[in-house]
Amino acid sequence: MKPKIALLYTEGINRDQESGYAFRLAGGETELVHVSELKSGAKKLANYQILFLPGGFANGDHLFSAKIWASESLAYFGDQLQAFAQDDKLIIGICNGFQCLIRTGLLPFNHLGKIEATLTHNASNSFQSRWVKLKIESSNCVFTRGLEGQIIRTPVSHGEGRFLAPEDELNKIEQEKQVVFRYVDEQENPTQIFPANPNGSTNAIAGLTSPNGKILGLMPHPECNTIWNHYPNWNEEKQRGGECLQLFKNAVTYF
């Protein structure tokens, strides 16, 4: 039986099609779920195995990126989010979705309603849209099992992707091996240097997992490199893309 993936969206989300395509390629069954449907009770998160928060500019990113999206989610179906996160299910948030996971408190430590880190304006003070390289770190993240040490290529498209956290929280994240992805340079070393690190994130952090490895958030867009001709230089055989599909396959095969 295929796991059911809820693609949670609201006004301003624009990566739902790419996100759904990635999970369907991986063998999952996707369904668009609007925030209003959870607010009204027309749909329930309990009916799904995977929750996907896609990228975009939810509610125009007014106040802060994903602030309204996160606030509505906590206020109207926070109990459903809590139950989902505590069950044997998976959550992934990419770009705007990662920002929402941070602002709901689901990341970094799955303390719903408590903000313990932030994703703020890029150090360059400019919107960045480019391809970057990520190193997959050793962690207990379900999405990256068997991929530790590999380098993947993904596009980024954000203005508020710089990860910051207080020293105590940052040390805990590192000690507990919750960093899943780091930005790397051409020598495949973690870097703070622009443009390989497009936003200036602390410790080159591009993505995190929760302590139990079942919640993943990252700023780059692996859903945009799931088939061989997604990468710009696909006409060169050694440059062909698609390496990010395995992240979604890992999630599907978990069930």
Residues labelled catalytic: 95, 221, 223
Burial class (CB in 10 A: 0-12, 13-18, 19+), 104: buried
Question: What SS3 class is residue 69?
Answer: helix
Contacts of 115 (CB under 8 A, 6+ apart): 102, 103, 105
Q: DSSP for 94-163?
A: ETHHHHHHHHHT-TTT--TT----EEE--TTSS-EEEEEEEEEPP---GGGTT-TT-EEEEEEEESS-EE
SS3 content of the chain, % helix, strand, coil (to 5): 30, 25, 45
Give strand ranges (E) for the chain. Answer: 4-9, 29-34, 50-53, 90-94, 118-120, 128-136, 151-158, 162-164, 179-184, 205-209, 215-218
Whole-angstrom distance, CA of residue 35 vs CA of residue 228? 33
